[in-house]
Amino acid sequence: MTAGRTGLREQKKQATRQALREAALRLALERGPDNVRVDDIADAAGVSPRTYNNYFSSREQAIVAAVTAERESRVAAAIAARPDGVRLADAVVDAIVEQYTDPDAQDGDALLLITTRPALREAFVDAAAAIEHPLTDAIAGRLGDAGRDTARVLAASVAAAVRVALDRWVGGTAAAPPVAGGLVVPSGSLPDLLRAALAALAPALDAAERRAASARHDPGRI
């Protein structure tokens, strides 16, 4: 298969995924998530239910994807864009906080829907796992090829920390009513929760960065 044909196929997949997640969120907002079936989402997106199942495993996953779409690639790009002199731990934390709390990327109605439905809250938290693979690439880019395994471990740890912070954040909305213009989150602000959860990983990120620097200066050193 030629590169051009592969590129067109990937574009079509991305367009289908986008159509499905947008249809899922629109129908959920109009009808309530409990009144939306997978068949309804597929029909609204112009595809078959079988095609839907190739992209999402549940309606909740599709609804949440409308809010979290492309976040993992934006996190990785933000880390890669940081200057070399910026500490790896700072680059990771800043990228995570920036992309998870950017007001331009948040839809108030969608977040209110997600945080007030247990199944959607769970899917929203679970979506944090998607950052692991692109984050591995971003961290490996800072550590070099020799640090690939370390990058995988660190990325998995970051994803777990983000999941803990999100779980606390959305869990705090369950018992509190929404207020005009936003959400009630009695357990704390999302940026603070993310920074607190990621703080435990700073020593490991620093150590990995030091080892990578030593390896670059002394290639024979393990």
Q: What pLDDT was estimated at residue 101?
A: 84
Q: In whole angstroms, give the CA distance from residue 186 to residue 170.
A: 10
Q: What pLDDT was estimated at residue 183?
A: 43
Write out the DSSP string of 75-132: HHHHHHHS-TTS-HHHHHHHHHHHHHH-GGG--HHHHHHHHTSHHHHHHHHHGGGGGH
Q: What pLDDT was estimated at residue 185?
A: 44
CATH number for the region 1-66 comes to 1.10.10.60
pLDDT by position in tens, the chain (length 222): 565 666 888 889 999 999 999 999 999 999 999 999 999 999 999 999 999 999 999 999 999 998 888 888 899 999 999 988 899 999 999 999 998 887 655 567 888 888 888 999 999 999 999 999 999 999 999 998 778 899 999 999 999 999 999 999 887 655 555 444 444 444 568 899 999 999 999 999 999 999 988 877 765 554
Count of helix runs (H) and strand runs (E) in the chain: 12, 0
Other residues' Cβ atoms within 10 Å of the Cβ of residue 73: 15
Three-state SS at 30: helix
Q: What pLDDT was estimated at residue 145?
A: 73
What is the longest distance spanned by two Cα atoms in the chain? 63
Pick the CATH number of 70-217 from 1.10.3470, 3.40.50, 1.10.10, 1.10.357: 1.10.357
Q: What pLDDT was estimated at residue 219?
A: 59
The residue among 33, 106, 45 whose CA lies nearest residue 71 is 106
* Domain coordinates in residue numbering, the chain: 1-66, 70-217
